[in-house]
Structure 1
Amino acid sequence: MEIIDLGTVPSSSENYLTFIDQMCDTLELDFASYATVNPVTGVVHGYANYPDSWKMHYMNRNLHRVDPTLHKASLSIAPVDWQRFERDQKFQSVFKAAGDFGITPQGLTVPIRGPYGDRGLLNVTRSCSVEEWDKLKRHIMGNLQTAAVHLHDSVMRTNGLVSALGYSALSTREKEVLQWTAAGKLQQEIGDILSISHRTVEIHLRSAREKLGALTTVQAVGRAIGMGLIHPR
């Protein structure tokens, strides 16, 4: 999926909303919202392309205080389909009037966890049959998770949250391994360059992924570059 590189454009709400709009168009979704809480100040950073009327309805009734797509989903490390909340009274209280605003209660929450205990939530919706929804989810899940991490990491960087929380304590060797990985070298090649075994390279990569809160090595490299720990080649 080709998406806006938020690291190459000025930080602004419009650019985040443009990213969300483009993601919805590309992945055939209706609406999406993203939110994270600054672990230092407690300030909420949120962006959504929902209709203004639904936003006002939601905020005026303080529905964020009871919304299980926020509170319960944030406890998960895997994406949460809202079908799980069908019998949840709080979910019903939040979405019982959603149809009046063109919002479907059919959706998905993607939790994002960063390297400093920071967390974000990307919520998306799509009005369609259950069969179509299940098929769409399988098709877009990988791209949706990539977009969620990209958006979260950009918000963290551009709002100064990374510098406020401090860099992850990557060892010199972990940085070297990630740097050579960013240069396109394979584990065996990195081992030869650094005079260590390819298994030791994997150990350093696994440790770096854990410290950076990354699920994959590619994600770890991206986060390390974004945080200035290594440099793109």
Structure 2
Amino acid sequence: MMHLIDLSELTAQRGRFDFFLEQVRSRFGFDHVAYLGANPVAGTMHGYVTYPEEWKRLYIQKAFHLIDPTLTIAQRSISPVDWSRLEQTENFRKVFNIAHDFGITSHGLTIPVRGPYGDTGMLSVTLDTSGHEWKGRIASAIGELQSIAVHMHDAVMNSDAFSNVLRHSLLSSREIEILQWTAAGKTQQDIADILGISHRTVEVHLRSAREKLYSLTTPQAIARAIALHLIYPI
């Protein structure tokens, strides 16, 4: 069951996105949460982070965004990237040897998001804890974090008026129905029994819905469908 923080309830564009990240940080107990998105339609880039101001200034000054593998590698991924995969790379050490001086841990996760017009986004979370504790925390939160990543990305991209006009969905009534049951916590077999169709048919409709909603996972598709008011949160 997903309970998304509703960005539409917040006001003042930059303020609402910053506040949203603070809500996510507080809710999950993370040290920091960051979002970076690029919109080729409007020719804009968007960044919102909870990192200290001193680190933000130094990061930009040293152009770390050009080499930081938590961005450069994660941007090319189709699944969440745990930073432990990146620790042995030279650029990771170059960035995080300095980041540690600002109290920023190298325990992190970046969740990539894709949009329908080439737009991309990445939501990153960090927590200074043991490896065992970190894995457990992420395992329990990954589904909701993927939904939050899509929710944040779509809200930021839709803040560009041109992109907002272009965005639409062509989901069939059956795809919407199956996404709604999935959002309610039903398994694919449950849905097949409820609708009187095969498990395979449910799977096909979910795959089609993910493709139409430009979502990498079913939780991301559900989050995007909720944001588009195609289905409702349960």
- TM-score normalised per structure 1: 0.80
Map of 1:17 onto structure 2: 18
Q: For residues 114-155 of structure 1, what are the alpha-carbon distances to aligned partners after superposition, in whole Å with 9 as ceiling and x for unaligned? A: 233321101111111222212212122122112111111211
Map of 2:89 onto structure 1: 88
Output the amino acid matched with 2:33. A
Cα distance, 1:29 vs. partner?
A: 0.6
Change (3 A) 1:118 1:161: farther
Residues 11 and 158 of structure 1 are in contact (CA less than 8 Å); yes or no, is this contact kept in structure 2? Answer: no
Which consecutive unaligned segments of at least 5 residues does structure 1 have?
192-196
Higher relative contact order (CA 8 A, sep 6+): 2
Structure 1 vs Structure 2 CA RMSD: 2.9
Q: Secondary structure at the match of 1:158?
A: coil
Change (3 A) 1:131 1:205: closer
Equivalent of residue 175 in structure 1, options 166, 172, 175: 172
Q: Secondary structure at the match of 1:97?
A: helix
Q: Secondary structure at the match of 1:96?
A: helix
Map of 2:8 onto structure 1: 7
Q: Distance in 2 between matches of 1:131 and 1:68?
A: 23
Q: Distance in 1 between matches of 2:126 and 2:143?
A: 16
Q: For residues 74-126 of structure 1, what are the alpha-carbon distances to aligned partners after superposition, in whole Å with 9 as ceiling and x for unaligned? A: 11111111111211111111111112211112211111122333211011111
- TM-score normalised per structure 2: 0.80
Change (3 A) 1:93 1:141: same
Q: Does 1:53 align with 2:54?
A: yes
Change (3 A) 1:221 1:26: closer
Change (3 A) 1:11 1:116: farther
Q: Distance in 2 between matches of 1:30 and 1:162?
A: 32
Q: Does 1:153 align with 2:154?
A: yes
Change (3 A) 1:5 1:93: same
Output the amino acid matched with 1:45. H
Residues 180 and 231 of structure 2 are in contact (CA less than 8 Å); yes or no, is this contact kept in structure 1? Answer: no
Cα distance, 1:48 vs. partner?
A: 0.3
Q: Distance in 2 between matches of 1:4 and 1:62?
A: 32
Map of 1:133 onto structure 2: 134
Output the amino acid matched with 2:173. E
Q: Does 1:98 align with 2:99?
A: yes
The number of residue pairs the alignment matches comes to 222
Cα distance, 1:52 vs. partner?
A: 0.4
Q: Distance in 2 between matches of 1:100 and 1:222?
A: 36
Residues 3 and 23 of structure 1 are in contact (CA less than 8 Å); yes or no, is this contact kept in structure 2? Answer: no
Percent identity, aligned pairs only, is: 42
Residues 179 and 206 of structure 2 are in contact (CA less than 8 Å); yes or no, is this contact kept in structure 1? Answer: no
Bigger shift: residues 34-43 or 51-60: 34-43
